[in-house]
Amino acid sequence: MKKTTLGGISAILVGLLYLLTVIIVLLSPPGENAVVDHVTYMNQLILVHYILGFLGILGVMVVLTLSRTIEKQTSHSEWYPYSKVMAIIGFALLAINNLRQTGLDHELSHEALHTGGAVLDTIVLAWAGLVELSPQGWLDFGFVGIWIFTVSVFSLKRNNQKLLSYLGLIGGSCFILTVLGNVTGLSLLVMIGMGLGGLVIVPAWFIYNGALLLKKSNLNTSITTNMKI
């Protein structure tokens, strides 16, 4: 019997942390530039980095747990192992990037504003390349979105948990849409992708999966106990 308690708890936490991140960001409207924003909303944005950092760590646990639960369905799939690795890379990069930024953002933004002049202008222009490892979200949103979409396709094929499957298909598409919005500069796509996906659909998908994993774990524990008796 495969234990899924840790994965279930992690999935619920990932959903809640995604939701919390979007709420904090919405309460910190963008200003003149990223440097000014990281001074104006220093505490809020540092908190977001910590949240996303730990979300990334928990996300890796969720990918590994969910992948174990669908081994039979994906055993003959050439694509699924690739999408699984992509998701692990995405969540790992999310953790590395944001835990790195917890110190870098604060120091760099304050120093740039204090110095001013050409130094400030340079930091503003180079901000994304200096502090962000995936500025357009290809890895941390795109890769994770592709994995969520892939898991949901397999779930739909099993004709099981259709609501969960549809949530995943929409949520994964929203994350991919966010990347396309960043690449093309179309803010509407980003608003749809993060507003619908990040605030509602993706958190719901992770929390729903977490609840099912905990239920499965409790059922396995009950069966094991009865067998011992």
Q: What does the domain layout of the chain look like in residue ranges?
A: 5-223
pLDDT given for residue 91 in this prediction:
98
What distance lies between CA 65 and its chain's CA centroid?
16
**Position 221 pLDDT exceeds 60:** no
**11-65 pLDDT, tens digit each:** 999 999 999 999 998 888 776 677 777 777 888 888 999 999 999 999 999 999 9
Confidence bin at 118 (pLDDT 50/70/90): confident
Ranges 132-136, 169-173, 180-184, 209-213: which has the least confidence: 132-136
pLDDT given for residue 182 in this prediction:
92
Using CB atoms within 10 Å of the CB of residue 50, give its burial: 0 to 12 exposed, 13 to 18 middle, 19+ buried.
middle
Task: Enter the tokens of residue 120.
Answer: 């400030």
Backbone dihedral angles phi then psi of residue 145, each to the nearest 5 degrees: -60, -40
Task: Enter the tokens of residue 82.
Answer: 């690739």
Long-range contacts of 167-173 (CB under 8 A, 24+ apart): 167/201, 167/204, 167/205, 167/208, 168/205, 170/196, 170/197, 170/201, 171/145, 171/197, 171/201, 171/202, 171/204, 171/205, 172/145, 172/146, 172/147, 172/148, 173/145, 173/149, 173/197
The single-letter DSSP state of residue 160 is: -
**Position 213 pLDDT exceeds 70:** yes
Helix (H) or strand (E) holding 77, with range, is none
Q: What is the pTM of this model?
A: 0.88
Percent of the chain with pLDDT strictly greater than 90: 59
Query: Which amino acid does the sequence have at 148?
Result: I
pLDDT given for residue 128 in this prediction:
65
Average pLDDT over residues 125-151: 87
Average pLDDT over residues 106-133: 72
**129-141 pLDDT, tens digit each:** 677 888 899 999 9
Rounded Cα–Cα distance for residues 59 and 215 (Å): 19
Please give the span between the terminal C-alpha atoms of the chain, in angstroms, as a whole number. 16
pLDDT given for residue 114 in this prediction:
66
Contact 10, 61 (CB under 8 A): yes
